[in-house]
Amino acid sequence: MKILIVDDEKDVELLFRQKFRKEVRAGEIELVFAFSGDEALMALESDNPPKVVYVFSDINMPGMTGLELLENVKSKFPDINVSMISAYGDTENYDKAIKSGAKEFFTKPIDFEEIKSEIRNFINSQ
């Protein structure tokens, strides 16, 4: 199962790789990374149909925001699950994300156990 992580902060890649080392080694998941909304869309469009089944995206990014990325992904690839990650747990961003089709909304600092649980539930529902 291929998961795309989108965040303009490159150190997020190292964090995800450390926290999901066991799952990646076991072949349960494959992590791919994009550092902007545009890069994420290019990654999704590079395979037809996309091999990515789940996107976790930061909301606050320069250029295309995570909410704009969410709308793009849901309009072009409605079957791909998207969850948002934000440093701000404000209700405005939460409401916008959920109304735009986000599956879940996580706040920073990231609780990786919550994200692992979400991924396990997704795998079990397939």
The number of helix segments (H) and strand segments (E) in the chain equals: 6, 5
The per-residue pLDDT for range 39-88, each reduced to its tens digit, is 999 999 999 889 999 999 999 999 999 999 999 999 999 999 999 999 88
Token code pair at residue 2: 């291929």
Q: What is the pLDDT of residue 48?
A: 87
Hey, what domains does the chain have and what are their CATH numbers? 2-111 (3.40.50.2300)
Q: Is the pLDDT of residue 34 over 90?
A: yes
Token code pair at residue 20: 């999901």
